[in-house]
C-alpha cells in the first residue's frame, strides 16, 4: 500500500519546495512553471487516492464474487486496509464536491458584468480596479480608484489590467485555483501563481509606459487606496504582495543568475514527473494487463 501513496506525497513535497524559488524567476516563466508543477502534483496525489480506492473495492467479497475482472484486478496487488480505502474515498469525494462548488461560484461571478465595452466604470467611491476575463474581457474600474490616481498612474493601471487579459492570466489562475480547491496542501503554490501573475502584469505595464518608477508609484498608490475597501478581486493591480512588487520594479540588479534557478526548477519538475508517475504507471499497466487477460 505504501507504494501507492509515496509517489503522490513525493510530488506534492517536491512542488512545494520548488515553488520557493519563484521570485528568482522571470514572472513570465514562473507563472507557467508553477501552474504546471501544481497540476502535475495534484494529479499524482489524486491518482494515488484512486489506486487506494481500487485496491480496497476490488477486495470486497461481493464484488469479487460477481465480477471476474474485479477479482483479477484486485489480486494483482495486496489488499488495501478498509480504513485507508474509506479515507481515500472520502478524500476523493470531498475534492470533487469542492471543485464543483468552486466552478459554480465562478460561473455566477463571471456572469455579473455584461456588455461589449472593454472599460467598465463602476459608480462607486470605493477604489476598485480589476480585469474580468471573457468574450470580450473587461477592465472594471470604480470612480473612487480613478480619483485616487493621476493621469499617468491611470495609464499604468489600464496597461496592467490589459496585460492580464492579453496574456490570459485567468487560465493559469483557474488551474491553480482548481488545484488548491481539490488539494488544499497545494494552496501555497496557488498564492505564488497569483503573485507571479501580478508581477508579470507589472512588468508589461512598466514596458508599456516606459517608466518603472511611475509603475511602482501607481501600484503603491492603488494599494494604499484599496486598503479602505472590502477586499480585492483576483487579477486586481492592488491584489497582493505590493511591497515586494514595488521593490522588484525598482530593483535594477542583473538577472543573469536566474538562468541557474530556471534550470533548477525545470529539473525539479522532471523529477516530480518521473517520481510521481513511474510507480503509478507500473500499477496502471498491471491493471490493464489483468483486465485484458494478458
Question: Cis bond leading into 136, ω under 30°?
Answer: yes
Q: Grid coordinates representing 262?
A: 530556471
Residue predicted with more confidence, 143 or 80:
143
Rounded to 5 degrees, φ, ψ at 139 are: -110, 115
- The answer on 161 and 105 residing in a single domain is no
Q: Grid coordinates representing 142?
A: 470604480
Provide the residue range defining the domain that includes 77. Answer: 1-112+256-294
Q: Is the pLDDT of residue 219 over 50?
A: yes
pLDDT digits (tens, 9 = 90+) for 201-217: 999 999 999 999 999 99
Asked whether residue 267 is assigned to any structural domain, the reply reads: yes
- The answer on 214 and 237 residing in a single domain is yes
Asked whether residue 118 is assigned to any structural domain, the reply reads: no
> Other C-beta atoms within 10 Å of 167: how many?
17
By CB atoms closer than 10 A (0-12, 13-18, 19+), residue 49 is: buried
- The answer on 102 and 6 residing in a single domain is yes
- The answer on 264 and 168 residing in a single domain is no
Long-range contacts from 225-232, C-beta under 8 angstroms, 24+ separation: 225/127, 225/144, 225/145, 225/148, 225/149, 226/127, 226/128, 226/145, 228/126, 228/127, 229/126, 229/127, 229/128, 229/144, 230/126, 232/128, 232/130
Residue predicted with more confidence, 229 or 285:
285
Asked whether residue 85 is assigned to any structural domain, the reply reads: yes
Asked whether residue 165 is assigned to any structural domain, the reply reads: yes
How many CA atoms lie within 13 Å of 40's alpha carbon, on the beta-carbon side?
Answer: 24
pLDDT digits (tens, 9 = 90+) for 158-175: 999 999 999 999 899 999
Q: How many domains does the chain have?
A: 2
| Of the candidates 252, 159, 239, the residue with the CA atom closest to the CA atom of residue 204 | 159
- The answer on 46 and 9 residing in a single domain is yes
pLDDT digits (tens, 9 = 90+) for 29-70: 889 988 888 888 888 888 888 877 877 776 666 665 555 555
Q: How confident is the model at residue 256 (pLDDT cuts 50, 70, 90)?
A: very low
Amino acid at each position: 500500500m505504501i507504494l501507492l501513496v509515496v509517489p503522490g506525497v513525493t510530488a506534492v513535497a517536491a512542488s512545494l519546495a520548488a515553488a520557493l524559488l519563484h521570485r528568482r524567476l522571470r514572472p513570465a516563466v514562473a507563472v507557467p512553471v508553477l501552474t504546471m508543477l501544481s497540476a502535475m502534483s495534484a494529479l499524482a496525489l489524486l491518482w494515488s487516492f484512486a489506486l487506494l480506492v481500487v485496491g480496497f473495492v476490488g477486495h470486497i467479497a461481493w464484488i469479487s464474487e460477481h465480477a471476474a475482472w474485479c477479482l483479477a484486478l484486485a489480486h494483482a496487488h495486496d489488499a488495501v486496509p478498509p480504513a485507508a480505502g474509506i479515507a481515500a474515498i472520502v478524500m476523493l469525494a470531498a475534492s470533487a464536491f469542492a471543485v464543483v462548488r468552486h466552478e459554480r461560484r465562478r460561473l455566477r461571478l463571471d456572469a455579473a458584468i455584461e456588455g461589449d465595452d472593454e472599460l467598465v466604470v463602476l459608480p462607486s467611491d470605493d477604489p476598485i480596479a480589476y480585469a474580468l476575463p471573457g468574450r470580450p474581457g473587461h477592465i472594471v474600474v470604480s470612480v473612487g480608484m480613478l480619483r485616487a490616481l493621476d493621469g499617468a498612474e491611470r495609464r499604468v493601471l489600464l496597461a496592467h489590467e490589459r496585460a492580464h487579459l492579453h496574456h490570459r492570466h485567468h487560465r493559469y489562475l483557474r488551474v491553480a485555483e482548481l488545484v488548491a480547491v481539490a488539494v488544499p496542501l497545494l494552496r501555497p503554490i496557488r498564492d505564488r501563481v497569483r503573485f507571479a501573475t501580478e508581477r508579470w502584469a507589472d512588468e508589461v505595464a512598466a514596458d508599456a509606459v516606459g517608466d518603472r518608477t511611475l509603475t511602482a508609484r501607481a501600484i503603491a498608490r492603488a494599494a494604499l487606496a484599496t486598503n479602505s475597501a472590502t477586499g480585492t478581486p483576483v487579477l486586481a493591480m492592488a491584489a497582493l504582495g505590493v511591497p515586494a512588487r514595488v521593490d522588484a520594479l525598482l530593483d535594477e540588479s542583473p538577472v543573469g543568475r536566474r538562468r541557474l534557478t530556471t534550470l533548477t526548477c525545470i529539473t525539479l519538475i522532471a523529477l516530480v514527473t518521473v517520481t510521481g508517475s513511474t510507480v503509478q504507471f507500473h500499477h496502471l499497466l498491471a491493471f490493464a494487463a489483468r483486465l485484458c487477460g494478458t
